[in-house]
Every structure is written in structure tokens, then in C-alpha cells.
Structure 1
Amino acid sequence: MARNAYGWLYDKIYSFKDYAHEAALIREIIHSRNPGASSLLDVACGTGKHLDYLKAYYQVVGTDLDEGQLEEARKRHPDVAFYQADMRDFDLGQRFDAVTCLFSAIGHTGGVEGLGRAVASMARHLEPGGVLLIEPWLSPEVWQNGRPHAVFVDEPELKVVRMNTSRQEGRQSVLEFHYLLARPQGVEYFTEELRLFLFTHEEYMDAFRQAGLSVEFDPQGLTGRGLYVGLRS
């Protein structure tokens, strides 16, 4: 599957997410640590759904590696600057009062070195007193091999089934998604493989500290996966 061709499908698959609630929690966390925050960078912003709500309070910018998702984000927010960038090594030439990296996108950094590079890159984009929020992927002790999953989309002109079972290769979790997509013009089948690294709690904490940030961990976070909150002095 060429992911860029199906950027529009992402929001259909994840329509269950309560972006308004998550954005309200994000704003509360930022405000409690940096009440004067007025700018925000969303790293791995996807189609820009969190920015639907956050841009009412901040001057926002987004980055993502997937051009297909950025295309959808630009359609949704023509007034927002979006950049294609790898979170492990990017430089926008500006700093922000808050930086977010949500929905476990940090798991795509490939390993402990990549995690450190990504957190350091995000930290470099913080103003003094700036806040970094990273929503982690699952930890090794929580990950379950061989568990089946399915998501369904049922609209008058669109039917989608996405199924997968989970497996582990070394420290990587592997999700091989199988899609059936039905539209008036016909039925398509395609696959997509995602690999997300299973970082430990200490590896996250160390990455923040090595980037020069103080850090705390909220085990509940936005969606139950936890949230790491860093602060630049």
C-alpha cells in the first residue's frame, strides 16, 4: 500500500478518538506549567485533528513524515504552516512555548538512539520555560503478542474493515494491517506494516534528561497510555 494515496482514510479509521477532550487536557497541562504559552508545534501531527481545537489558543505549526497525511492537514487548515520532517532530525528555525508528539508516534523512532535524537530535536525547538508533551507507545511489559484487532467503518458510500494480529521481533512491535475497502467503484485489498519500538519507562525518562529537560510522568495521560511532560528551564 502507498500510504500517501490514503491519507484521507486515517480519520475514518480513527473516528473514535475524542480530539476535543484530548486538546482540552493538553491545554490544561501546558497552562499549568507555562501560563503565558502562545505558540505550539505538533510533531507527527497526522491530519491535524488536534489542531482543530488547539489553534484557537495557540499559533500552531505542524510536522509529519507522511506527505499524504500532511496533504489532508493542509486541506483542513489552509492557514497553518505544515512541514514534512523526520522527528529525529529537523530544524524549523524557530522556537515554541509548547511542543507535542501524540498518539504514540514516538514509537516510530526505531530504537533508543532514535528516541534520544527525537526528544533532543523537539527540545531544541522549545523557548525557555517551554513544555514538551510526548504520548508513549506501549512498554515491553504491557505489549501482548498474537492479539487480534479489528476496526470497522460503515458509511453509505464507504465500507472498511481493518484487521491485524500483533507480534514482536526483538524490541519492535509489528502491526501488519489488512484492509478491505469498498466504494461504489469497487473493492480494494491492501496491507500496511507498522513497526513501533517498545521503549521502557527509564529510556523515556533518560531521553528527556539528556535533552536538558526536567521530566515527569502521568500514568493516565490523554488516553490511558501515559504522558511524559518535560520542561525547559
Structure 2
Amino acid sequence: MYENNSAAEMYDLLYQDRKDYRAEAREVAGLIREKKGDAQSLLDVACGTGIHLEAFAGLFDRVEGVDLSRPMLEVAKQRLPDTPLHHADMRDFRLGSSFDAIVCMFSSIGYLRSTQDLDAALRTFAGNLTAGGVVVIEPWYFPQTFLDHHVSGHALTHEGRTITRVSHSTRVGNLTRMELHYVLADREGVQHRSEIDELTLFTSDEYEAAFSQAGLKVDYVASAEARPGYFVGTAA
């Protein structure tokens, strides 16, 4: 997924056109400070191209990012040249410093394949927290809320380029299988690329169990509109 800079930049443009990253960052910062009012440092896990991270940088004194995709990190580095960005797996990383808050946004947690992976990630998050630190995860959909055979699409024109994205989602067991097609048209011609994304439909109980085994007290906070809400965990 996002195997080159062109794909990462296409992702970047499409989602900036349809999501209010700054509003989401403010919402999450509010959840964090309800639990830890003096929170000043934040780690964004699966930070992608750094759009949420850029918004968090205006809300916290120190921010850093982690992602498994090098092309995504290269785009993030262009956006945030002075911010530490780490190439690492969310299931197992040590950065040499602790954070008051660790977030995992945009349902990126769903790319984990099993409850064992989910448990490992939460243990890793907890191990990189300060005392009383907070973990906020925006989950993927739950088994009972996922819409099988869902179709979506989006298009934009930006600086002489038109980009379209269409997707079709189906369920295979506890996996969401999303087939995505992108078409880019510019003065050089038309390009097409496609990909298959698979995200796990973890249950609420599985999320809460992962927080608990990591030693985090967890609450679920519902979100407005059709978004999946947040799990908010607090360390002792």
C-alpha cells in the first residue's frame, strides 16, 4: 500500500479535500486533556503523510510520528521537516523517550490482522507513555456497523490535475476487503492505479481487552456523524 511517493501524494490531496484534519485534532486533544490536563507531548502512530500530525503540532509542545510506509514518511518529512519521524511497526517500537499522549488516527489500527497484533500494539503504546499518559485510538468499523458492498467515490481538480477515487467494500469473515481505483489526469495524459486494502473488523470487546491487558483504563467515546468514535485509555 502506498508503495511510492506519487501514490502517497494522491492520497494526501484526496483526503485533504474531504476531511477536516484540524477539527479532528482539536477534538482528540480535548479528549486527551480531559484525562491529562498538562499533556504537552504527543506521538502520532501511523502518521501517514503527516496531516493530523501537523495539526497536533499546533496543540502540543512536542510531537513525533511513526509509520511503516517509507513513501508516506517522505511526504510527511516535506510537510514537517523539523519533526522527528520514525520508520517503525506499531506492534513493537522504542523511541528512547516517553509521551503524554499517543494517538492512532483514521482507523489505521484496522490494518492489524489479529487480536494478538492488537494486544502487542497496545502494550507498545503503553510502554511509551509517561505516568498518567493517554492513548486515543480511532477504530475501524465494528462487525455490526460495517456496510457490506458499500460503494464510495470522490473527485477533485488541483493545480491542473484531476484525481478520482472509487471504492467497493466487501466483508470476508472478520476482514473488510476494499478494492480501490484511482485515475489521475493531467497534461501528460491519464494514469490508473488500483489496490486492495484489508482492514480487520475488531469488536468493541476486543479493543477494550487490548487496552486492559496493557494496563490502561479505557472508555469509548462516540463521535458525531458516521465516524467510528474513539477509544480513550489512561495509564495509572
Contact 1:135 1:221 survives alignment (8 Å): no
* Change over 3 Å in CA distance of 1:20–1:223 after alignment to 2: farther
Matches within 5 A, 1:72-83: 72-83=75-86
Q: Secondary structure at the match of 1:30?
A: helix
Contact 1:25 1:222 survives alignment (8 Å): no
Asked if 1:14 is matched to 2:9, the reply is no
Asked if 1:34 is matched to 2:36, the reply is yes
Contact 1:46 1:73 survives alignment (8 Å): yes
Matches within 5 A, 1:80-95: 80-95=83-98
Contact 1:39 1:59 survives alignment (8 Å): yes
* Change over 3 Å in CA distance of 1:64–1:152 after alignment to 2: same
With 50-59 and 191-200 compared, the bigger mean Cα shift is at 50-59
Q: Tell me how many residue pairs correspond in the alignment.
A: 233
Aligned-residue identity in percent = 38
Q: Following superposition, which runs of at least 4 residues in structure 1 exceed 6 angstroms of deviation?
A: none
Q: Secondary structure at the match of 2:4?
A: helix
1:46 pairs with one of 32, 45, 48 = 48
Distance 2:151 2:27 in 1: 30
* Change over 3 Å in CA distance of 1:156–1:82 after alignment to 2: closer
Distance 1:230 1:4 in 2: 34
AA in 1 matched with 2:8: G
Q: Secondary structure at the match of 1:208?
A: helix
TM-score, normalisation: structure 1: 0.95
**1:73-132 deviation line (CA, Å, top 9, x unaligned):** 101111100011111121112210000000000000111111111111111110110000
Distance 1:60 1:23 in 2: 13
Asked if 1:130 is matched to 2:124, the reply is no
Q: Secondary structure at the match of 1:7?
A: helix
* Change over 3 Å in CA distance of 1:138–1:151 after alignment to 2: same
Contact 2:2 2:8 survives alignment (8 Å): no
AA in 1 matched with 2:38: G
Distance 2:38 2:115 in 1: 33
Question: Please, what is the CA RMSD of the aligned residues?
Answer: 1.5
Shift of 1:224: 2.5
Partner of 2:123: 120
Shift of 1:222: 9.3
Shift of 1:221: 6.7
Distance 1:79 1:156 in 2: 27
With 26-35 and 75-84 compared, the bigger mean Cα shift is at 26-35
Contact 1:136 1:225 survives alignment (8 Å): yes
TM-score, normalisation: structure 2: 0.94
With 221-230 and 102-111 compared, the bigger mean Cα shift is at 221-230
Shift of 1:30: 1.4
Q: Secondary structure at the match of 2:223?
A: coil
Gapped runs of 5+ residues in structure 2?
A: none
Shift of 1:26: 1.6
Gapped runs of 5+ residues in structure 1?
A: none
1:191 pairs with one of 172, 189, 194 = 194
Q: Secondary structure at the match of 1:50?
A: helix
Distance 2:79 2:102 in 1: 20
With 94-103 and 11-20 compared, the bigger mean Cα shift is at 11-20
Distance 1:214 1:156 in 2: 47
Distance 1:123 1:203 in 2: 17
